[in-house]
Amino acid sequence: MLRGDIMRIRTLFLVLSLSVFTSLFVSAENLTNLNIGLESKLSNEGFIEISGKEFKVEYESGERVFKVEGDIYAVVSNKYYLMVSKVFDSYEDAKEVVDLYKNAKPVYIGNEEWKVYIGEYSSDKEAREDFDLVYEINPDMDHEVLRNNYRRISIMSGDGEEFIIDSRDDNLFFDSNYKFEFLEDKYRGKFGFVRKNDNDLILINRIDINNYLKSVVPSEMPALWEKEALKAQAVAARNYTYLNMSKHIEEGYNLCDTVHCQVYKGVMTEHKNSSEAVMETEGDLLYYGDNLVETYFFARSGGATEDSENVWSKEVDYLRSVEDEFEQDEIWLINPDKEISSIEIKDYYNSGSVASIYINKKEYKKANGRYFLGLRSNKYRIKSFEGKVYANILGMSNNNRPYEDINIFSNDKKLKKVYILGVDENIKEIDYESGTDGLIIEGIGYGHGVGMSQMGANEYAKRNYTYKQILSHYYTGSIVKGEAIDE
C-alpha cells in the first residue's frame, strides 16, 4: 500500500501541463492497446530470452508479417554492416535477396519496409574489404557501409530464423496464442524490444488496457477487499493510465512497469475479484468538469484527507480535505533515526496534520517534517523524548505483507534480538532496526493523505456505498462517466 503513496508523490504542475494534451487524447475515444516497458527487468547485458511458442511477427498496425517457432532471443547489435541499397516492400522480397549472400539478414526499417544487411563486421575497414565480394554476387545493386548505432536489435528464433530491427519510430511485435514467459513471469498480449542506449535492452509488453488493469489493481489494493472499493481503485488506475499515456513516449512505450508509473507484473498478480472489478467498470473514467481527475490515493487517512496545497504547492479543486467517517484508526509509533536535540510541533491543519514543526531549531512546513523524520503520515505528535530502546520490525510476514504495526520497547538498552511467534507456530528471529535516543513519535494514517484513502474506501464499501459514491466523496465534485451500467 506504500506503493500507491510513492507512486502518487508527483508534482502537481503535471495536472496543468497534461490537461491540454489529455483532453485531446481522451476524445480519441477508445484506448485499447498499451505498450508497457518492462523496466524492472531491464537487461544491461543486451540479451533477452522469451519462452513461448508459435510466435507471429506483426507490424505495429497488427498486420501479420511471418511466423517463427520456439523461443525468441534478442541481442543488441553494435556492429558494422554492408547494406544493399534497395528498399523492399515485404519480408519475403528482402528474404529472396538475403539468400543470394552467405551472411545476410532481412532488416525491418519501419513503415512496413525492409532492407538487407550483410555482415556483421567489427570496423568500417573490415566491411570495405568485402565490397568486391558482394559486388560479384550481386552486381545489379549498390552496397554501402553502415556504421554502428544505438537502435539495432538482432532477433533469433529457436528454429533458426534471424533478422534485425533497425527502426527509430516503428516496431515489430511478436504475438502468440499462448502466454509468453520472461524471467519467470508470464504475460498476456504481444511483445517487442527497444534499446535505451549502449547495451540496455527493454522488453515491451503490448497489452489490452483491461488485461493491463487486471494486473495493476491487485498490486495497489488487496484483491480480497470489498468489491466496490476494488472498483473505485480500478477507475483510479484507469484514470492514471489515460493521463500518463505519454510518460515514456520518447523511450518507445507508454508506461513503465515500476512504481514510477504503476506496478505491473503480468498474469501472476491477477485475481478473480479485482479482474471482475476492472470489467464491471470497463470504460469508466472519473471527471471533474471536462477534465480527467488526477486520482491520487494513499493507504489510510487517520480520520480526514488533506487539502492538496497542504501537502504540495498547488490548490486543486477536487483534492479537498474530507472526513473519513468509518476508517479504523491504527496508531503507529516511530523512533526516528536522526540526531535530534530539540523538537516541537507549532501548528496543525484542521485535518489533524502537522502544518509546522521545529526540529533542531529549524522550521519544517507542510509535510516536510514528516519526510525528514521518515514518518508514515503527517498526522502525528511527540509521545516521549527520553532514553528508551525501541525496535521497528522489518521484513515480510507469512502472508507476504510487511510487519507494519509491531513495536517493541525495552528499558534496559540492551535489545539484541527480536523473536516472534509465526502463524505456523514456529518462533523465528527477525530483523529489526532500533534507536536509543528516546524520541518516540506517535501517529495515525499512512501516506500523503491527498485524494482517496484506500482503507477508508474499503470501510465505505462495507457499508454499501457504491464505487461511484466512494470516488465522488474523496475527489470532491467529481463524477464517473463511462460505459459501466449502474446496478
Residue ranges that bind Zn ion, judged by CB under 5 A:
256, 260-261
The Cα 78–Cα 261 span in angstroms is: 30
For the chain, the first-to-last Cα distance in angstroms comes to 29
Residue entry with cell 499515456: 245
Residue whose CB is less far from Zn ion, 262 or 351? 262
Residue whose CB is less far from Zn ion, 254 or 351? 254
Amino acid in the structure at residue 54: E
Smallest separation, CB 277 to Zn ion (Å)? 23
Smallest separation, CB 370 to Zn ion (Å)? 25
List, in order, residues 6 or more apart from 345 with CB less than 8 Å away: 354, 356, 357, 381, 382
Smallest separation, CB 294 to Zn ion (Å)? 16
Could you give the maximum distance between any two Cα atoms of the chain, in Å?
90
> Strand (E) positions, 331-422?
331-334, 343-348, 354-359, 362-365, 379-385, 389-393, 407-410, 418-421
Residue whose CB is less far from Zn ion, 257 or 284? 257
Residue whose CB is less far from Zn ion, 80 or 297? 297
The Cα 33–Cα 30 span in angstroms is: 9
The Cα 74–Cα 72 span in angstroms is: 7
Cell numbers found for residue 176: 502468440
Reduced to 3 DSSP states, what percent helix, strand and coil does the chain have, rounded to the nearest 5? 25, 35, 45
Smallest separation, CB 244 to Zn ion (Å)? 8
Cell numbers found for residue 230: 476494488
Cell numbers found for residue 388: 528508551
Smallest separation, CB 251 to Zn ion (Å)? 9
Smallest separation, CB 37 to Zn ion (Å)? 8
Residue whose CB is less far from Zn ion, 151 or 260? 260
CB atoms under 10 Å from CB of 114, counted, come to 24
Residue whose CB is less far from Zn ion, 200 or 309? 200
Residue whose CB is less far from Zn ion, 39 or 306? 39
Smallest separation, CB 10 to Zn ion (Å)? 11
